[in-house]
Amino acid sequence: MSIDRIDRIDATDPPGDAPTQLDVDRVEAFAGQVASDIGTVFAGATVYIGHHAGLYAAMADGGTLTAEELAERAGAHPRYVREWLGAQAAGGYVEYDPDRGAFRLPPEHAAVLADRASPAYLAGASDGMAAIWAAAERVTADFTVGEGVPWHEHDARLFSGTEELFRPSYETFLTSEWIPSLEGVSEKLAAGARVADVGCGHGVSTIVMARDFPDSSFHGYDGHDASIATARQRAADAGVTDRASFEVALATALPGGDFDLVGFFDSLHDMGDPVGALVSAREALASDGTVMLIEPFAGEGVEDNLTPVGRLYYSASTLVCTANGLAQGNRPVLGAQAGEAALRDVLAQAGFSRVRRSAETPFNLVIEARP
């Protein structure tokens, strides 16, 4: 974006004061940044299309294809495909060979966009992006009211997008690294234990644990009945219904008890009463039980989170996590960038005296807590 023909831009701040001359170069640079960000949002919609129209899957073998060849392979209209490929090439998602007028999805990019078994897979998470945009108008209106937007009232793509956002990490790290980072918990699960998964959503984390610890029993709880129905179907598909069950329940009123492990996997920060949920978890624990929190990675202050990861989580938190927490009552809401100190604080309020960070990734904090 260029404003070369503008020699001076004046601004009045605050209203009524004399105009202040702005740094035109800085205005131009920032306008370019915002234009780039808008372009990124538009390009995100093309990722959604590439995923759902099967275009990335059709390019997954790493071959070089013209628009017409890709259209034939994917069963798509070639004119649409030509424009879509231009957007993908401009964003660096695919490589372009000008001599042939052909395009290629590199294998490293296919691991992110086409290989659902890859720990780096993200294409399915584009459903969540579409759902967040669908919620933007309602959340904007609620900014002046503060009543929140409950999870169950979002576009259904939020639920599938959230599942796909977290699934690769859970399948890669949950039972191989994160649970083993807890003191004695992996051994308990291998021998046979009772586990509660609070805010389980579509049940990805519950099913991964049930698959890898077949001698334990796993109980997924969520307040969203449609997600529980999906989780039950996912468990049936995975063949773990003998040891994984799902029930509609509020986090503040967990049924049952004597759990050796109670997990909140990317769910506590969404809750309207995190202290109440942790109190319920403490009361449901066996005498030597453990609470495990997996939360988005965050530093302690805003200044520590001014990163691409922080930008992602703050944005999602504005439109989904904080909105859902507000909808559940007028209590302090953690949000997706709470940080370890805030998590320790709510754990202490709930009666947990032994707390430590047991693991982390650039995207996750793993917290172990005992009363």
Per-block mean pLDDT, blocks of 10 residues, the chain (371 long): 52 61 94 94 96 98 97 98 97 97 98 96 95 95 95 95 95 97 98 98 98 98 97 98 98 94 97 96 97 96 94 95 90 92 97 97 96 96
Q: Are 364 and 297 in contact (CB under 8 A)?
A: yes
pLDDT on residue 1: 45
CATH of domain 124-370: 3.40.50.150
Q: How far apart are the first and last CA of the chain?
A: 57
Distances (CA, A) of 113 to 91, 239, 292: 14, 27, 30
Tokens found for residue 175: 């039972």
C-alpha 334/C-alpha 349 separation (Å) is 14
Annotation: CATH topology of 24-115: Arc Repressor Mutant, subunit A (1.10.10)
Start and end residues for every CATH 3.40.50.150 domain found in the chain = 124-370
pLDDT on residue 98: 97
Q: Are 260 and 291 in contact (CB under 8 A)?
A: no
Q: How many CA atoms within 13 Å lie on the side-chain side of 150?
A: 7
pLDDT on residue 3: 47
Selection from 179, 247, 181, 249 nearest residue 216 by Cα: 179
DSSP symbol at 326: H
Start and end residues for every CATH 1.10.10.10 domain found in the chain = 24-115
Q: How buried is 139 (Cβ within 10 angstroms: 0-12 exposed, 13-18 middle, 19+ buried)? A: middle
- One-letter amino acid at 101 equals G
Q: Is the pTM of this model over 0.95?
A: no
Selection from 138, 103, 110, 113 nearest residue 44 by Cα: 113
DSSP symbol at 287: E
C-alpha 137/C-alpha 150 separation (Å) is 14
Tokens found for residue 291: 């609470």
